[in-house]
Amino acid sequence: MLELRNINQYYGGSHILRDVSLEAKPGQVTVILGRNGVGKTTLLKSLMGLVPVKTGSISFEGRSLAQATPYQRARAGIGFVPQGREIFARLSVQENLRMGLATKPGSTPIPPELFELFPVLRQMLHRRGGDLSGGQQQQLAIARALAARPRLLVLDEPTEGIQPSIIKDIGRVIRMLADRGDMAILLVEQYYDFARELADAYLVMQRGEVIARGPGKDMEADGVRQLVSI
């Protein structure tokens, strides 16, 4: 579904991404691991068109995204949950969810399944986003990305600053979405145990390049925990 080939990215004179290639397949969770500053978030920003790619190619469902704007990528079927959630604090939960439908006709209803995935959002529909706890805001950010029913869901460190009980809920939802078979999930994560539990495929980044990759079931045997702690 998603294919990145030989992505290179620079900030000033610094070579941030070095020939990064990856694939994300329907029905699978592809996890990117690595410490802070290795280029994971830059890779996702490049994927979403928030920063231009210097060299390399990005294709989604066989279509090149090289010239596509961020909103065109969203309209093509890519949902993005950024690091730090970036919900609209002054808007209600309902209004935040409707922002996820910005690429759809104005009469498009909020999908009821969002409240099945995250029941707490139904209870807080008219509360302002800024009044929610960090974990509730993360659930709202994921639901907002799912509102337009994307075929690729991209999550940037969804466990950051979240209490363990909600981390479990988020993991359950991610696994459920992947198991449906019609959505690919690309997950950037530092929390090794969470990543290992969900990964169908993994990549480890270090200094802007992929230094290891393989099936999720091989993460322990491949010593991935040690790689991401270096």
pTM, rounded to two decimals: 0.93
- Give the confidence band of 35 by pLDDT, cuts at 50, 70, 90: confident
**How many Å apart are CA 30 and CA 184, to the nearest integer?**
8
φ/ψ (deg, to 5) at 78: -110, 120
Nearest Cα to Cα of residue 208 among 5, 4, 14, 17: 17
**Domain residue ranges of the chain, discontinuous segments joined by +:** 2-86+151-229
Mean pLDDT over each residue of the chain, to the nearest integer: 93
Which pLDDT score, from 0 to 100, does residue 14 have?
87
Report percent pLDDT > 90 for the chain: 83
**How many Å apart are CA 51 and CA 47, to the nearest integer?**
8
Domain 2-86+151-229 has CATH 3.40.50.300: yes
- Give the confidence band of 230 by pLDDT, cuts at 50, 70, 90: low
Q: For the segment 64-116, what is each residue's pLDDT rounded down to a tens digit?
A: 998 899 999 999 999 999 988 889 999 999 999 999 998 888 788 999 999 99
**How many Å apart are CA 217 and CA 10, to the nearest integer?**
33
Whether the CB-CB separation of 1 and 171 falls below 8 Å is answered with: no
Sheet holding 29-33, edge to edge: 78-81, 152-156, 184-189, 29-33, 201-206, 209-215
Beta strands in the chain (DSSP E): 2-11, 14-24, 29-33, 55-60, 63-64, 78-81, 152-156, 184-189, 201-206, 209-215
R_g of the chain, CA atoms, integer Å:
17
